[in-house]
A and B are shown apart, each in its own frame.
Chain A
Amino acid sequence: MIMKVLKSSFDMIDEKYEAVARTLGYGKFMTLIKVLLPMCRRSLVASFILGFSRALEEFGASVTLAGATRFKTETLPIAIYLSLSSGNIELTIALIIILIFIAFITLTILHFIERSRVRVI
């Protein structure tokens, strides 16, 4: 998912910027650092947030690979699962509210990133 977002934002940058940076004396790596990465910094932040939120809600892979052990392999979705299966409704609701809050913050940040118009000439 992160790669998809990053690739599409790199693809959107006109090759002319890279060409100009090269003729001005920068090699390929420094052009990436000085021009391409700063030009798609919003996409970088957006893809990081998307990746983080995707990782946060991961359940199947965590349970399959690491198991569901309290205080050892416990992620937020696993904690919800464990507290629900042990009948602790108050804790489950509290964890769900925390997850909703994180999702809300994430979406709000993404919304602002998308709204802040990329400056183009």
Chain B
Amino acid sequence: MIELESIRKSYGQHLVLNNLSLNVSKYETAVLLGPNGVGKTTVLNIIAGIVSPDYGRVVIDNRIVFEKMNSRIINVPPELRQIGYVPQDYALFPHLSVYENIAFGLSARKLSENDIRRRVKELIDFLSLNGIENKYPHQLSGSEKQKVALARALAPEPRVILLDEQLSSIDPGFREYIRWELREFLKKLKITTLIVTHNLDDAWALADRIMIMLKGTIVSYGTPHNILSRIKSREVAKFLGLNALEGRIVRRYGNNAIIRICDDIELIAKNTTNNVSEGDKVLVIFRPDDVIIHSRKESNMITNVIKAKILRTQISKCNMKLFLQLSQNNVITAEISRGYIFNLIKNQQLMNSMIYI
């Protein structure tokens, strides 16, 4: 449905998008996830036609809307692409009421007053905006603004909808509810959607498929369930808040492999694939909440037990993040419940304590 092929875009000397290709299937909700300043919004602007790439091809619903390859140049203007675009902070027209904002795109299509009224009413009912039709944007709450912006984008029945950092301006306490509500709307709408965000929770909650973007290109993609097993670089693991230890396979036996992280740390990987062999460099990736912590070494702890020093701690809402030093060059994070760690360490000082993971 949305296809970007070999997209390149520079601003002066600064290369923003480097040979970026992506594909979003029909009725899929795809999330483009990446840190700030990586070029995610530029991708949306290119699809919408607001920014033209230096090279590449953009196809929407099997129709080429942009092509600049060899000598051929095609560039369909934004108003003819039939795209719904909701930018960050929504950009509701401040001089228009909620009704007029939603009807804005319908007037451009020269629909009759009756048709406009009917379509706006449909969207107001669908997004539960009844009672605020005559209000102006500055009189609306964050979630109302978001719904109005969504209604405005949906009104002309676009083929694709693009959402840029939709939840960044919503208060944290309200964010989970809005996230759920947005997901429900998108499910009901059955429309191809591309969402841009830097927030991991938003991505996992909203996506059918996640595409991770770093340094101007897509570095990993998959469903929220399998993307973690597809990570192949330390940078991606770091962005996702995962632990990544570099090591080398020193021995294989059956489906298992022994991975040496450093001189005194060896890990056993079970059920390894056949395409790794002795001597290969590998990356051991695991989630901070998968780390199990013990205050002393028990007799039943046989494999993958490592002694670690607590370097520092960081308290979050429910959990505690521990920064653990395994060796001089290997520091990982572990995330456990605050009660658990205080119970484990008892009266000892947390910092610089030695534990087993």
Chain A interface residues (CB < 8 Å from chain B): 14, 16-17, 19-27, 30, 34-35, 38-39, 41, 118-121
* Residues of chain A within 8 A of B50, CB atoms compared: 19, 22-23
17 additional A-B pairs beyond A20-B93, A24-B153, beta carbons within 8 Å, are A17-B93, A19-B87, A19-B91, A23-B79, A23-B85, A23-B153, A24-B105, A26-B108, A27-B77, A30-B108, A38-B93, A39-B93, A39-B95, A118-B94, A121-B90, A121-B138, A121-B145
* Residues of chain A within 8 A of B6, CB atoms compared: none
* Residues of chain B within 8 A of A30, CB atoms compared: 108
- A119–B347 Cα distance when bound, in Å, is 57
* Residues of chain A within 8 A of B158, CB atoms compared: 23
- A39–B137 Cα distance when bound, in Å, is 13
Q: Are B104 and A21 in contact, CB atoms less than 8 angstroms apart?
A: yes
Q: Identify A22's interface contact among B79, B94, B95, B138, CB under 8 A.
A: B79
Cβ of B121 within 8 Å of any chain A Cβ, yes or no, is no
Q: Are B92 and A121 in contact, CB atoms less than 8 angstroms apart?
A: yes
Nearest B-chain residue to A23, judged by Cβ:
B85
* Residues of chain A within 8 A of B137, CB atoms compared: 119, 121
* Residues of chain A within 8 A of B153, CB atoms compared: 23-24
Contact with A along B68-110 (1 / 0, CB 8 A): 0000000001110101110111111111000000001100110
A16-B87, A121-B138 are contacts. A27–B79 as well, Cβ < 8 Å?
yes
Q: Are B90 and A25 in contact, CB atoms less than 8 angstroms apart?
A: no
Least CB distance from B281 to A in Å reads: 45
Least CB distance from B167 to A in Å reads: 16
Chain B interface residues (CB < 8 Å from chain A): 45, 48-50, 77-79, 81, 83-85, 87-95, 104-105, 108-109, 136-138, 140, 145, 152-153, 156, 158
* Residues of chain A within 8 A of B84, CB atoms compared: 23
Q: Are A14 and B91 in contact, CB atoms less than 8 angstroms apart?
A: yes
Nearest A-chain residue to B152, judged by Cβ:
A24
- A118–B153 Cα distance when bound, in Å, is 24
- A86–B112 Cα distance when bound, in Å, is 67
Least CB distance from B244 to A in Å reads: 37
Nearest A-chain residue to B94, judged by Cβ:
A119
A121-B92, A121-B94, A121-B138 are contacts. A22–B49 as well, Cβ < 8 Å?
yes
Q: Are B104 and A23 in contact, CB atoms less than 8 angstroms apart?
A: no
Q: Are B91 and A23 in contact, CB atoms less than 8 angstroms apart?
A: no
* Residues of chain A within 8 A of B91, CB atoms compared: 14, 16-17, 19-20, 121
Least CB distance from A67 to B in Å reads: 46
- A21–B92 Cα distance when bound, in Å, is 10
Q: Identify A23's interface contact among B48, B88, B136, CB under 8 A.
A: B48
* Residues of chain B within 8 A of A22, CB atoms compared: 48-50, 77-79
- A105–B145 Cα distance when bound, in Å, is 39
* Residues of chain B within 8 A of A34, CB atoms compared: 104
A39-B94, A119-B94 are contacts. A20–B108 as well, Cβ < 8 Å?
no
Q: Are B94 and A120 in contact, CB atoms less than 8 angstroms apart?
A: yes
- A16–B105 Cα distance when bound, in Å, is 15
Q: Are B138 and A26 in contact, CB atoms less than 8 angstroms apart?
A: no
Least CB distance from A44 to B in Å reads: 12
**8 shortest A-B CB distances, which residue pairs?**
A25-B108, A24-B105, A22-B78, A16-B91, A121-B137, A23-B85, A119-B94, A16-B87
Residue from A21, A24, A35 having most chain B Cβ neighbours under 10 A: A24
Least CB distance from A118 to B in Å reads: 7
- A8–B203 Cα distance when bound, in Å, is 38
Q: Are A19 and B45 in contact, CB atoms less than 8 angstroms apart?
A: yes
- A21–B49 Cα distance when bound, in Å, is 12
